[in-house]
Chains A and B, each alone.
Chain A
Amino acid sequence: MSKIDLEARSRALDIVEYSMKELIEQIERGEKPTLIMPKRTLSNTIYDLKHKMLLLGPELQKRSFTDVNEAKKFMQTLLMASIIYEALRNNEYPTIRDLYYRGKHSIVYRSIDGKRVSENTWDEQRESDSVIRDLEVLLSVLREDLLILSKEKGKVVGNLVIRSGDDTIDLSKMGHGAYSIEPTPDLIEFIDVDAEYILVVEKDAVFQQLHRYGFWRKYKAILVTSAGQPDRATRRFVRRLSDELKLPVYILADSDPYGFYIYSVFKAGSITLSYESERLATPSAKFIGVMMTDIFGDSVFKKIIREREARKTLEEVATGIEDLKPKAPYLSESERSNFIIRAKTKDLERAVELVGYKVADVCMEDKDAKSKIKRKEGLTGYPWFATPHWVRELCIFFNTLSKLEIEAMASKGLKFLADKYIPEKISSGDWID
């Protein structure tokens, strides 16, 4: 077992013991034992404008054992703490699924009306997962710090030498493969680096093409893929690269609301895991593409805001839409018609989630598609999408009802993607921050 691992274990054991000591002191004083932790709810999730990330708000949640609505959760929290504690003690690396199984057993008792009742500590993994999240906020540590593993799919290559466990690994010598980011990225040590920026590619296939093409060597990049929705380790790893190597981070994702959302998870954090943003989000990450304007240019948008009412409404969502720099498309008319995919209602709904109804109302011309969107109460969009750039992007999306995958850019020619599109966008600063 590596030294760094052993140190992490002893730190984690201390944290758990410390928190439980507080509890036992309450019990010894004859008080009702109460766990106090930040409230992990949507209403207590706030977007911190200064740090540009989603954080947990100041609201606290008191979980008392003697409150009948909280008693079970209280028991579950302690049960989970004890299993994690034992795993740490026994030098194990449980996964969240392991923890679910280890803690699941039935409590049998005789109820006041004489019936024999049997009840499980928890029934589904959803429940135990939620308890793990509670423990993370209660102890203010991430599960990785408690040496809990989850399945990870992030990969990285580039001119970077790291130490993982007792081994030193040169990430420029991975052949056609790549280093898969370990579930405990905090235990990685950066030893040597020779790179100018970090490029995160949403799609694994595109990552592999760029890798084989020699992109990272040619442009001195560290190439990362999250292979879809980014997991915790990939996000934490990117964040550490950004913080510790002081390199800019560019994100390349599909040109659709889902791709935009993946970018925002890297940048600001996710709503369900907002307590982790502080350690997982990379607020300086930039979206380099694929943008709607890369496909269509800005003529569609200009036409829409020529109308006064539309302009006014969009101006209300984000001031400064008229000052946006003009934009020429990278694709020709015929390429567009080949590569574009038509948006589905689900894509439209996700877009509404990002920027709210106003933009959809103003920009959408297809009445039929509009009527299909389910209207949910209170969707006004996320604050970090209320910028002129994003309003323009999504307005074009609503208007054209089109989306495009990164792969399409690669099929225009890998050379085009690697040697023109990416370098040009970076050098001209054509990104959204």
Chain B
Amino acid sequence: MSQYDEVYRAVSPAEFFYKYREIAGFANPVRAVYQTIRELVENALDATDVHGIPPDVKVTIKKADETQEFYQITVEDNGIGIPPNIVPNAFGKVLFSSKYVMRQSRGMYGLGVKMVVLYAQMTTGRPVEVITSKPNLKRIYYFKLRIDVNRNEPVILEAGSWRKTRDWHGTIVSVTIEGDWNRAKSRVLEYINRTAIVLPYANIALLTPENEIIYYPRVVNTMPRPPVETKPHPQGLDLEFLSSLVKNTGFDTLEKLLIDSFQGIGEATARQIVQKAGLDPDRKPDSLTNEELLALVNAIKSYDKYKPPSPKSLSPLGEEIIIAGLKRAFEPEFVTAVSRRPSAYSGHPFIVEVGLAYGGKTPIGEDKPVVLRYANKIPLLYDEATDMIVEVVKDEISWDNYMVSLPAPILVLVHVCSTKVPFKGVGKESIADIPELRREVKLGIMEAARGLKQYLSKKIREEEAKKRAENIAKYIPEVARSLSIILADEDSFNALRSEVIRKLTTVVAKKTGVSLDLIQGIVKSVEAEAGV
């Protein structure tokens, strides 16, 4: 072979991600523990709340070897389960997923659990175990499998099934990986805690290798409305997508293809678009030349009277749930939530939600409020510095104007939900800067902050009223004493004094609008100090 020759070959997706696992968040033994738990928990949650089932998720971490740092991680859910014929591919074939549809879910790449399996395979060599059943099935299925990295195919090591004796449905996934639990622990706990904040409708339990039980019980019965699968919006279209539509669907006419494949295109619109592209509405789609396809894409995209993308595919948390979650977590003095109206970028619908907690056990924000970021209900923990949301909170909102003087116990929760969250990487840790999104985030925070401002200014007013009352009440005993010296004799002195105190206390309470108790408290403290 000469110096200018190369060896060429293709690698399977499994092989690729096996080699470049850090792209998917498996960079080191600490991150690997965290990422494994995340992937399994998120799949469990997708199998429950996306389908309207209140989640019951249990995570168990056990030391699996005496000498080596092997941990068995098991996640159990009460979700919709997986059809037995699908299980091998779902867990053993990279880029196989049920989530490549227009519907909001946590998963989106078809990669997560396979990365876990691959990582287990390369560190401990142990296979993944899956136990699953769907609600309508009579049997429970059991699999033990691994991935053939070169072929990107599942290898079933064991499979079996047994009859259901109780009405159980859901999935239990168990893997054994090598990892640094001790250093990962705080991250994992934080992840579970953050997840629980936006899921007050879920039971989430975690059992650590140290036998600690961390449990977040359900506190609300409301569920977010489940997302409904929708057709793509024409504005999100490109040439590649249209070519595959034309090839893979068997429509007779162009018109039918447009009406059936996209949301928001009716007969009249379809005709208009096709004519603009200089084509015949009755043309057979698979007869189009490349130039004609390009003309059609341009016609579809330049049409400007589409309705905005349907938000039905989204599943926002809703204000009630956000408030319940923040209350459970921080017992704040003030809490509010804002669910913005649906909006869209490049044909993808999205909704921004903001929660704001103040006081109570809310952590102290130093130069800006503490920010909790979420995307499709997933907490984002890493890469905070480069995140658009953090930037908005820090630089675009003047917290002074909302009567917040930092440092202060204030926290802002931002949830972005979309059929396509613009993550910066497959690790799903930070959100890219998209103007439409940024705008909504800012407006949402401002709206919530206005609520806080109202609360704070009312509180200040009340405090001022109390101060005023105090500055009068402290003189009541002296006034009563002076009057009694002048108007009472020795025998009636005490009676008159108490009577005047009683009456003045009432009048002062009435005039200042504060409680009788407060005024009595101050009067009593004066008397106690004076030894009356």
Contacts and interface: CB of A to CB of B under 8 A. Distances in A.
Interface in B451-487: 466-468, 470-472, 474-475, 477-479, 481-483, 485-487
A341 B508 CA distance: 61
A180 B471 CA distance: 46
B218 to A, nearest CB: 38
B264 to A, nearest CB: 60
Interface stretch (A81-89, A275-283, A368-376, A379-387): A81-89
B479 A74 contact: yes
Interface in B515-532: 518, 521-522, 525-526, 529-530
B503 interface: yes
Interface in A273-293: none
Interface in A65-113: 65-66, 68, 71-72, 74-75, 78-79, 81-82, 85-86, 107-112
Contacts of B474: 107, 109, 117, 119
Nearest to B525: A110
From A16, A17, A21, A78, name the one whose CB has the most chain B CB atoms within 10 angstroms: A78
B472 A107 contact: no
B500 interface: yes
Contact of A82 (B486, B504, B518, B529): B486
A121 interface: yes
Contact of A121 (B472, B478, B485, B506): B478
Interface string A32-63: 11000000000000000000000000000000
B478 A107 contact: yes
A65 B473 CA distance: 10
Contact of A27 (B468, B477, B507, B521): B507
Contacts of A112: 466-467, 470, 518, 522
Nearest to A16: B486
B511 A32 contact: yes
Given A111-B470, A112-B470, A78 B529 contact: no
B512 interface: yes
A174 interface: no
A65 B505 CA distance: 11
Contacts of B466: 112
A31 interface: yes
Interface residues of A, number: 35
A27 B483 CA distance: 11
A71 B504 contact: no
A17 B478 contact: no
B525 A66 contact: no
Contacts of B504: 27, 33, 65
B486 A81 contact: yes
B522 A109 contact: yes
A23 interface: yes
A28 interface: yes
A103 B504 CA distance: 22
A20 interface: yes
A120 to B, nearest CB: 11
A66 B487 contact: no
A30 B529 contact: no
A107 B483 CA distance: 17
A222 to B, nearest CB: 41
A31 B507 CA distance: 7
Interface of B: 466-468, 470-472, 474-475, 477-479, 481-483, 485-487, 500, 503-504, 506-508, 511-512, 518, 521-522, 525-526, 529-530
Interface of A: 16-17, 20-21, 23-24, 27-28, 30-33, 65-66, 68, 71-72, 74-75, 78-79, 81-82, 85-86, 107-112, 116-117, 119, 121
10 contacts: A27-B504, A65-B508, A68-B468, A68-B512, A71-B475, A85-B485, A109-B474, A109-B522, A111-B470, A111-B522
Given A27-B500, A109-B526, A121-B478, 8 more contacts: A17-B486, A17-B487, A31-B507, A66-B472, A72-B475, A74-B475, A78-B479, A110-B521
